[in-house]
Chains A and B, each alone.
Chain A
Amino acid sequence: MSIFDFFRRKPTAHVARDRLQILLAHERSTFGRSDLVARLQEEILQVIRRHLDIDPDKVQIKLDRGDHVSTLEIDIEVPLTERAKVA
C-alpha cells in the first residue's frame, strides 16, 4: 500500500451501520411483529365471532409501523344477511 492509497482509504463501517439500521427497521415490521399481528387477528376474530358469523379468511389485519405514527388496519367482510341483522 503506497502512501497515496493510505490517504484515499475510506472507512466502511458507518456504511454497514446505516444499511443495517434501514434494513432492520423494515424487517422488524415484517417478521418481528408478525406474531403480534397473528395474535391480534386471532383475538379480534374471537370477539367479533361472539356477535357475527364471519369467514376467518375474509378478515385482513395489517400493522404499519411509521416513525411517528403506527396504524392498525382491520378489514372485515361482513355477509349481507348479517349486516341486515345488525342494522
Chain B
Amino acid sequence: MAKVIVVTSGKGGVGKTTSTAAIGAALAQSGDKVVVVDFDVGLRNLDLVMGAERRVVFDLINVIQGDAKLHQALIRDKRLENLSILPASQTRDKDALTSDGVAKVIAELREKFDWVLCDSPAGIERGPAMAMHHADIAIVVTNPEVSSVRDSDRIIGLLDSKTERAMRGERVEKHLLVTRYDPARAARGDMLKVEDVLEILSIPLLGIIPESQEVLKASNVGVPVTLNNPETAPARAYQDAVRRLRGETVPMVIPQERKTLVERLFGRRVA
C-alpha cells in the first residue's frame, strides 16, 4: 500500500526541498519505489537539488492538463533507478493545479510507487493546500526559530482541517523534523531547544538535522545529502529519520560531524 507524504512547513527556506530530496533518496536506497513530486509551480527547485534540471521535458502541469502522460514527465534518478522525480512547471501559475487533476495524478502515482513524497511550496495558499490534500503522512519541517515555529503551528492546523483525511474524519499522521539545529547554541540558551519546539507544537519528533555545511555542498552539486556523503552528520540524521518513518525505534541522538585528526589538532574544520 503506497504512502503519500507531504513535506511542509508554512515558512520558506527552512529546508523542505533539501529534506524531500534527502528522505526520498534514503527511502529509495533500501529498494522501495519512490517518487518525489515538486508542487512549487512557478518556482521549481527540487529538480535542481536532485541534479535533474537538464532532463526536465514535461512537468506536473503538463500531466494535469493532458499534454503529457505521467510516464513521460517522470524523470528517473541517475544514481538510484527506483527513485523518480516529477518536476513542477516553471512557466505556469499555481492556478493550473486543479483539485481533480492533482487527485488523478496522485492516484496514478500510488499505483506505481511505494512512497509518494510531495514537496510543498511555502505559504498557506493553493499550492501548499494541493500538496497536503492527499497526504497520509505529513513531515513538518521546522527551524528552531520563532517565525518558523509559528508558521508550523498554522500548517498543523490546516493538516487537521483541510486535508482529505481530515474531511473524512480521519487523521493525517504528523511528524516534526527539526532542521538547522545547533546543539551548542541551544545548550547556551541562544536557540530554542528541540524540547521547547516539541512542547509548543506537540506532534511526535521524526528527527533532528544538525546545521551543517554538508547540506550546501550537496545542493551545489545536485545530489541529495544522503547520497552525496552518507557518513556526514546531516546524512546520518536523515537516515535515522527515515528508519523512524518506517516504524523502527531509533534512539534520538543528534549526529555530530566526525573530525579528522588534523581538524582535531587545529580545533577547526580545515576544508
Q: Is the CB of B153 within 8 A of A28?
A: yes
Given A11-B189, A24-B200, A35-B161, residue A16 in contact with residue B153 (CB < 8 A): no
How far, in angstroms, from A32 to B150 measured CA to CA in the complex? 12
Given A27-B153, A31-B157, A35-B161, residue A13 in contact with residue B193 (CB < 8 A): yes
Contact with A along B186-216 (1 / 0, CB 8 A): 1011111100100110000000000000000
Given A31-B157, A32-B157, residue A20 in contact with residue B193 (CB < 8 A): no
With an 8 A cutoff between CB atoms, is B85 at the interface?
Answer: no
Q: Is the CB of B186 within 8 A of A13?
A: yes
Chain B residue at minimal CB-CB distance from A12: B190
Q: Is the CB of A16 within 8 A of B192?
A: yes
- Residues of chain B within 8 A of A27, CB atoms compared: 150, 153-154
- Residues of chain B within 8 A of A28, CB atoms compared: 153, 157
Interface positions of A from 9 to 35, Cβ below 8 Å from B: 11-14, 16-17, 19-21, 23-24, 27-28, 31-32, 35
Determine chain A's interface SS by DSSP, over half rule.
helix
Chain B residue at minimal CB-CB distance from A18: B196
Chain B, interface size: which category? Answer: 20 to 34
* Shortest CB distance A29–B (Å): 11
Q: Is the CB of A13 within 8 A of B157?
A: no
Chain A residue at minimal CB-CB distance from B185: A13
Contact of A20 among B149, B186, B189, B191 (CB under 8 A): B149
- Residues of chain B within 8 A of A14, CB atoms compared: 189
Given A23-B150, A32-B157, residue A13 in contact with residue B191 (CB < 8 A): yes
- Number of A interface residues, CB 8 Å? 16
Q: Is the CB of A20 within 8 A of B157?
A: no
How far, in angstroms, from A16 to B191 measured CA to CA in the complex? 8
With an 8 A cutoff between CB atoms, is B146 at the interface?
Answer: yes
Interface positions of A from 40 to 69, Cβ below 8 Å from B: none
How far, in angstroms, from A8 to B121 measured CA to CA in the complex? 41
Q: Is the CB of A13 within 8 A of B196?
A: yes
* Shortest CB distance A34–B (Å): 8
Q: Is the CB of B157 within 8 A of A19?
A: no
How far, in angstroms, from A27 to B160 measured CA to CA in the complex? 15
Q: Is the CB of B153 within 8 A of A13?
A: no
- Residues of chain B within 8 A of A32, CB atoms compared: 153, 157, 160
* Shortest CB distance B146–A (Å): 5
Q: Is the CB of A20 within 8 A of B146?
A: yes
Chain A residue at minimal CB-CB distance from B161: A35
Contact of A24 among B153, B162, B190 (CB under 8 A): B153
How far, in angstroms, from A20 to B149 measured CA to CA in the complex? 8
* Shortest CB distance B170–A (Å): 15
What are 10 contact pairs spanning A and B, CB under 8 A? A13-B190, A16-B196, A20-B146, A20-B150, A20-B200, A24-B153, A27-B154, A28-B157, A31-B157, A32-B160
6 nearest A-B residue pairs (beta carbon)? A11-B189, A32-B157, A35-B161, A17-B196, A13-B189, A16-B146
A residues in contact (CB < 8 Å) with B: 11-14, 16-17, 19-21, 23-24, 27-28, 31-32, 35
**Given A27-B153, A35-B162, 19 new contacts (CB under 8 A):** A11-B189, A11-B190, A12-B189, A13-B189, A13-B190, A13-B192, A13-B196, A14-B189, A16-B145, A16-B196, A17-B192, A20-B149, A24-B150, A24-B200, A27-B154, A28-B153, A28-B157, A32-B153, A32-B160
